[in-house]
Structure 1
Amino acid sequence: MLRAIFFRQPHRIARTCAKFRYMSSSPEPTTRNQHFSVDAEGKTVVDLSFASEALGLPAADGYGWAQLEFGDSVGDDQRYTILRKLGCGMHSSTWLARDEVGNGFVAIKALTGHMTGMNEKGVYWEAEALRLLSFRSQDPSFKPSSPHCVRLLDEFILPGRGSAGSHMCFVMPVYGGDVKALVASRKTPFELPTAKRISLHLLRGIAFAHERGIVHTDLKHDNIFFTTELETTDIERWLKEDPSRRHEPELSQDGIIKAAVSQPLPKISDELARRATYVLSDFGCGLPSNLHDDRTITTPPLRAPESFLGGKWDAPADIWAFGCLVFELVVNGTLFKYRVNEKWKLTAIENMLYQMLLFSNSNDGGFQPEQLAAWPLAGQYFNSSCELEKEPTVFHWPLEDIISKRNNAIPSADVVAIAKLMYQCLRLNPADRATAEELLQDPWLEGADA
């Protein structure tokens, strides 16, 4: 039985994933691979340009990636054998492991020591979110875990090495990759059936998460995984043909390290993408569903107006982001541009608000007084007439026109249907947005599983 998880592409940026080791017989690291120095005042200066994740940095300073070796046995009763690093992220690394009990493969997401500490303090909620998503009840009316939300198979604490601290580890199925990687491998938009399938499966995942009382708050291509058709024997062959590797030795604050190279599963074809199952993943920013006070959530181009304006937010913020993602999936580009508007002298945030006014349904009537009064930061951008202070020219720019312009291969009937679906998501008042369950009944999504 094959189990698996996702992987991200390797990064060469600060604060990426997790993986390092002490070495006594390694070649000496070169000067360029030394990542810390001492300034004139005797303070340690850290250079974060590691070959992969910034290993050997302490959890106490916000780092602490897991120090795993190929062949390590981890988990309760040493059930899992580490075989490869699949990828890494800002606060974790993901590893392919063999389940010695289930005799298949799983993926293990190891949080940094810093994030493990945040979890222990109750600040970081991913563990609880994953438990809620994977919980099964004896009540026959209670829905089982969804095939469109990532599943938690097991969890354990991995003792740390060096200054990395201990690591909360989540055992999950192995997935084939994420939609961001699929987009990056293409020069053209997805075929419409594929875009529709991804949209439907993502929406099912959102609906299930909302039903379980979870707001994702970080919907984006990176966090949509897809299943793999590789069997256990296929992965074994891949491991043999493309052995796990390490980068050259580097000098860190914890000593000499050799980061594992991120080696995700092979890319899939368009044909496989058309029939894959898509899964909502990475609940690291997830929070319980209720009205939350001002807290910036979601990447700016997908961020709802209430978050920009310091208002309380809940599940409708996910719906706004979903509407933006539908556009991205069908045209292979963003709807909202988070950048300065030179023509009207608008800051990036002002320009986002301006675009919201342009693209919203003409029947919405713009931002309303009672709405702006409830959002603390609205006074910085709007006057008493609910108009932007800098008074750019506002008009209705139909989504149908934008979709057609960005992808003229979409049939006109689909253009109208896509715009109608998006308008239900991009309502300026969160209370007016459709729920995920309501959107699942939208006619455009019919037949997406075919």
Structure 2
Amino acid sequence: DDKDGHYIVRPNESLTQQYKIMRLLGQGTFGKVVECYDRVRRKYCAIKIIRAIPKYRDASKIEIRVLNTLKHHDPLNLNKCIHLVEWFDFRNHICMVFELLGQSVFDYLKSIQFKPFPPTQIQRLAKQLITSVAFLHDLKLVHTDLKPENILLVGEPTTTCTDIRLIDFGSATFEKDYHSAVVSTRHYRAPEIILGIGWSYPCDLWSIGCILVEFFTGDALFQTHDNLEHLAMMNSVLGPLPPHMVMSANKEGQKFFFKESKKLRYPTTKTTKQSKKFVSALKPLQEMVPPNNQHNKFLLDLLKKLLVYEPSQRISAREALRHPFLSCC
């Protein structure tokens, strides 16, 4: 192992007698993902090798619990979430074996130079993604980290049939379990998380709204690393936050607004020219997705129901599946 508890991957070595390491597929804070050959099943697979550090070992045990729940409730995988084949402990590393899949939707977007997806492809991807999320929510699970990097393509991407799998249940939370304060990757983070109001299932639907805009334009909707700038961007695209949400924000969240008017304190004296330029360049949603044909009209209508500030007013995954944008494909 290296000093950070990562397993040192060497191609052609074995992880137990069953698995031969082929190559490194990727790595993250949790550990590494390698492509392996399964000598028993005689096929290739992906193995997530968790860092040999208690914090990451404990987190992976929770992820395994989630993955087992998914598999138990959907043995045929009609809901397109990644299936855990098995897991084992190897030299203090928890290893999770998965089916080998293709590239992520993010890598695919990158490979086509971030060109927008054609309309029918957006529909198919949206339908599959929302089907997966509705299934999770029925099981009382919130994914909390939906983003194009966590949607993998099955096989080669084609414009006609694109089968996907939802991955990375490392931050998935059972509704009844402890909810950490900050969840999800910045660009896809819902307003209630930024304001510290508390979150639940609706935060996944906000992320889906952001993802669908990204499929339509080719660019991430809110490209920022700062809370105030993020709220200012939301303001540009979706208008001001409702005062009652501002009032229920935590102490951190209140700081972004004027006490009396509940308006956003942006720009401040500290705001950079670059930031102001970014924020003012953002167009309202209906200019980003102009409703000039039936497809766009339906998409815009769905987006307006997903990107609702008030979590209790946001459309649910099950409701979204009945939306005309998805029922017409």
TM range (shorter): 0.7 to 0.9
Alignment partner, residue 261 of structure 2: 385
Measured in 1, the distance between the counterparts of 2:266 and 2:292 equals 38
Tell me how far 1:122 sits from its aligned partner.
5.5
After TM superposition, the structure 1 = structure 2 runs for residues 214-253 of structure 1, keeping only pairs within 5 Å, are 214-228=141-155
Residue 321, structure 1, aligned to residue 248, structure 2:
no
Residue 66, structure 1, aligned to residue 12, structure 2:
no
Tell me how far 1:432 sits from its aligned partner.
1.0
- The one-character-per-residue Cα deviations of 1:81-136 (angstroms, maximum 9, x if unpaired) are 2233233333222222222222222211111223xx22544587322221111124
Measured in 1, the distance between the counterparts of 2:127 and 2:88 equals 33
Normalising to structure 2: TM-score of the pair?
A: 0.85
After TM superposition, the structure 1 = structure 2 runs for residues 174-213 of structure 1, keeping only pairs within 5 Å, are 174-187=100-113, 188-213=115-140
Tell me how far 1:210 sits from its aligned partner.
1.8
Measured in 1, the distance between the counterparts of 2:125 and 2:10 equals 35
Which of 15, 19, 35 matches 1:80?
Answer: 19
Residue 350, structure 1, aligned to residue 228, structure 2:
yes
Amino acid at match of 2:8: Q
What SS class does the counterpart of residue 322 from structure 2 fall into?
coil
Which is higher, the Rg of structure 1 or of structure 2? Answer: 1
Contact 2:119 2:295 in 1 (8 A): no
Which of 174, 188, 196 matches 1:302?
Answer: 188
What SS class does the counterpart of residue 295 from structure 2 fall into?
helix
Measured in 2, the distance between the counterparts of 1:376 and 1:86 equals 42
Measured in 2, the distance between the counterparts of 1:332 and 1:191 equals 11
What SS class does the counterpart of residue 199 from structure 1 fall into?
helix
State the identity as a percent.
25
Measured in 1, the distance between the counterparts of 2:180 and 2:47 equals 33
- The one-character-per-residue Cα deviations of 1:341-383 (angstroms, maximum 9, x if unpaired) are xxxxxxx4223223323433x7xx8423266325443321222
Q: Which moved more, 1:177-186 or 1:368-377?
A: 368-377
Tell me how far 1:276 sits from its aligned partner.
2.4
- The one-character-per-residue Cα deviations of 1:205-257 (angstroms, maximum 9, x if unpaired) are 111222222221111111100111xxxxxxxxxxxxxxxxxxxxxxxxxxxxx
Measured in 1, the distance between the counterparts of 2:227 and 2:255 equals 11
Q: 1:147 to 1:97 in 2, by over 3 A?
A: farther
Residue 372, structure 1, aligned to residue 247, structure 2:
yes
Measured in 2, the distance between the counterparts of 1:119 and 1:447 equals 43
Amino acid at match of 2:64: A
Measured in 2, the distance between the counterparts of 1:294 and 1:98 equals 37
Alignment partner, residue 42 of structure 1: none
Gap regions ≥5 residues in structure 1:
1-55, 137-141, 160-165, 229-267, 340-347, 405-409
Tell me how far 1:273 sits from its aligned partner.
4.6
Measured in 1, the distance between the counterparts of 2:322 and 2:75 equals 19
Tell me how far 1:290 sits from its aligned partner.
4.3
Alignment partner, residue 35 of structure 1: none
Amino acid at match of 2:101: Y
What SS class does the counterpart of residue 203 from structure 2 fall into?
helix
Normalising to structure 1: TM-score of the pair?
A: 0.64
Amino acid at match of 1:89: G
After TM superposition, the structure 1 = structure 2 runs for residues 277-292 of structure 1, keeping only pairs within 5 Å, are 277-290=163-176
Q: 1:223 to 1:208 in 2, by over 3 A?
A: same
Higher helix residue share: 2
Measured in 1, the distance between the counterparts of 2:87 and 2:60 equals 18
Measured in 1, the distance between the counterparts of 2:249 and 2:185 equals 23
Alignment partner, residue 401 of structure 1: 287
Which of 49, 63, 83 matches 1:151?
Answer: 83
- The one-character-per-residue Cα deviations of 1:297-331 (angstroms, maximum 9, x if unpaired) are 22222111111112211111111111010000111
After superposition, the CA RMSD in angstroms is 2.9
Q: Which moved more, 1:370-379 or 1:304-313?
A: 370-379
Measured in 1, the distance between the counterparts of 2:177 and 2:57 equals 23
What SS class does the counterpart of residue 87 from structure 1 fall into?
strand
Alignment partner, residue 34 of structure 1: none
Measured in 1, the distance between the counterparts of 2:292 and 2:67 equals 39
Amino acid at match of 1:66: Y
Alignment partner, residue 92 of structure 1: 31
Gap regions ≥5 residues in structure 2:
269-279
Contact 1:71 1:82 in 2 (8 A): yes
Q: 1:290 to 1:427 in 2, by over 3 A?
A: farther
Contact 1:220 1:325 in 2 (8 A): yes
Contact 1:293 1:311 in 2 (8 A): no
What SS class does the counterpart of residue 48 from structure 2 fall into?
strand
Contact 1:294 1:311 in 2 (8 A): no
What SS class does the counterpart of residue 110 from structure 1 fall into?
strand
Q: 1:113 to 1:429 in 2, by over 3 A?
A: same
Tell me how far 1:443 sits from its aligned partner.
0.8
Alignment partner, residue 40 of structure 2: 101
Measured in 1, the distance between the counterparts of 2:199 and 2:64 equals 22
Measured in 2, the distance between the counterparts of 1:372 and 1:95 equals 47
Measured in 2, the distance between the counterparts of 1:446 and 1:398 equals 26
